Structure 1
């Protein structure tokens, strides 16, 4: 039968305006980055107000950088999303240990 010669079709999203393939990596990076926002916003439970402001500014810089890299470096957005979690953990831990932040 003809079932042995089936052609495999990959589902690929294509931009109708340009005809280029749409990469899923920027979307993954943005989801990671946005999901880390709740940690930054809730940092007031662990850190002083000035530290929360600095953390939110760094998150905002990473958010803008995610859109700057959206088309030029789509895989870097995933690294940036993971880095947002690592940076928050490092900043809160270092502040707690070195600056004696107590709740």
Structure 2
């Protein structure tokens, strides 16, 4: 691969992070306010990791929204099962 070539994967990953932001932000419809704050803090940590990996690890950036979606689904589903969260 040409060293000067720009990898498309960071752009794909950031588009995915924008999509996952809406999942995390709209969680207030089914989870309590404090859980939304924790979810948003988790999303912010993942976003910072994606930003830091932009140049040194461009393919990892594309994996971050996949991990973010799996975490969101697991946490919201687990919270609903354990604490009875519902809309």
Q: What range describes the TM-score normalised by the shorter chain of this pair?
A: over 0.9
Return the match for 2:9 from 12, 25, 29: 25
Greater percentage in helix: 2
Structure 1, gaps ≥5 residues long: 1-13
What CA distance in whole angstroms lies between the structure 2 residues aligned with 1:63 and 1:83?
11
TM-score (norm 2): 0.93
Provide the aligned C-alpha RMSD in A: 1.3
Return the match for 1:89 from 62, 66, 73: 73
Question: What is the aligned partner in structure 1 of residue 61 from structure 2?
Answer: 77
Question: What is the aligned partner in structure 1 of residue 50 from structure 2?
Answer: 66
Q: Which has the higher contact order (CA 8 A, sep 6+)?
A: 2
Measured against aligned partners, the alpha-carbon deviations of 1:50-71 in whole angstroms (never above 9, x if no partner) come to 1000000000111111110000
Across the two proteins, how many residue pairs are aligned to each other?
86
Structure of higher CA gyration radius: 1
What CA distance in whole angstroms lies between the structure 2 residues aligned with 1:25 and 1:70?
9
Measured against aligned partners, the alpha-carbon deviations of 1:54-98 in whole angstroms (never above 9, x if no partner) come to 000000111111110000011111111111111111110000001
Structure 2, gaps ≥5 residues long: none
Structure 1 moving runs of 4+ over 2 Å: none
